Amino acid sequence: MITPPHHTSPRVLLAIPVYNEARYVDRVLTEVRRRIADVLVIDDGSTDDTPRRLAAHPVEVIRHATNRGYGRSMQDMMRWARFDGFDWLVTMDCDEQHEPAAIPRFLEAIRRDDLDVVSGSRYLDPDGRVDAPPPDRRRINAMLTEEINARLGLTLTDAFCGFKAYRVAPLADLDLDVDGYDFPMQFWVQAAAAGLRIGEIPVRLIYNDPSRSFGGPLDDADNRLAVYRRTFERELVRCADRLSAEATAGLQACGGEA
């Protein structure tokens, strides 16, 4: 007698980076845990009441002694997911700009099992319920998303939404080391170089605090754009042997800088 194959549901970890999110963390974690069992929080050196509030929730916590940056938190999430044997990692923010109610959409996409990266897009909301983003953020997002698509052959509509699902196994082949908010520029290049299958699903565009700071020099829009482009060009150079000729065209002329 042939025993039919046993299909198990993928193990999914939901991970959230937090930095001084005492205002939101209780509500967000309460709502998240109604929808998913395994939750990891990266406390990136919070100096407010966030650490005490986290202790009241049955979630795993990695705490950075000092603020190390968004990209470093992302790296820690990915390492934890691999180490603990999860099949998928879902990431979201803790400032109520990502709705826990959207988590089932990512789980549905995971169950379809035809992608390696499921990226939320704030510009695909079928109901059109969107807030107005700060103009400089929308402008830079649009410019860089267009450049990423043109150089990497992707069809993204929103390159910077942190609400994503990642298949964990392929992450082991990526060499991610950008600690700041320019992390997505490195990730997209390496994902394309690794041949990962990428798709988008709609999430709502919510801006609770349009004046929220990136911190330091990145608050200047022109400087932020320059930093992101430098990271992008550097990664194109690093991955040139695995990318198409179109992706790496012009690198010699610009010396890898933008």
The more confidently predicted of residues 57 and 99 is 57
For the beta sheet containing 117-121, the strands, ordered from the edge strand earlier in sequence to the opposite edge, are 60-63, 39-43, 12-18, 88-91, 164-167, 117-121, 198-202
Report the C-alpha gap between 59 and 237 in whole angstroms. 39
- Among 199-208, 209-218, 230-239, name the most confident range: 230-239
Report pLDDT digits (tens) over 35-92.
999 999 999 999 999 999 999 999 999 999 999 999 999 999 999 999 999 999 999 9
In the chain, count H helices and then E strands. 10, 7
| Average pLDDT over every residue of 114-143 | 79
**Domain 12-208+217-249 fold:** Spore Coat Polysaccharide Biosynthesis Protein SpsA; Chain A (3.90.550)
pLDDT at residue 214 in the model: 57
> Is the pLDDT confidence value at 182 over 70?
yes
Tell me how far apart the alpha carbons of residues 24 and 8 are, in angstroms, rounded to a whole number. 34
Tell me the pLDDT of the chain averaged across its residues.
Answer: 88
- Model confidence at 7, pLDDT cuts 50, 70, 90, reads low
With CA atoms as reference, report the closest residue to 162 among 6, 17, 1, 2: 17
The pTM for the full model equals 0.88
The domain spans of the chain are: 12-208+217-249
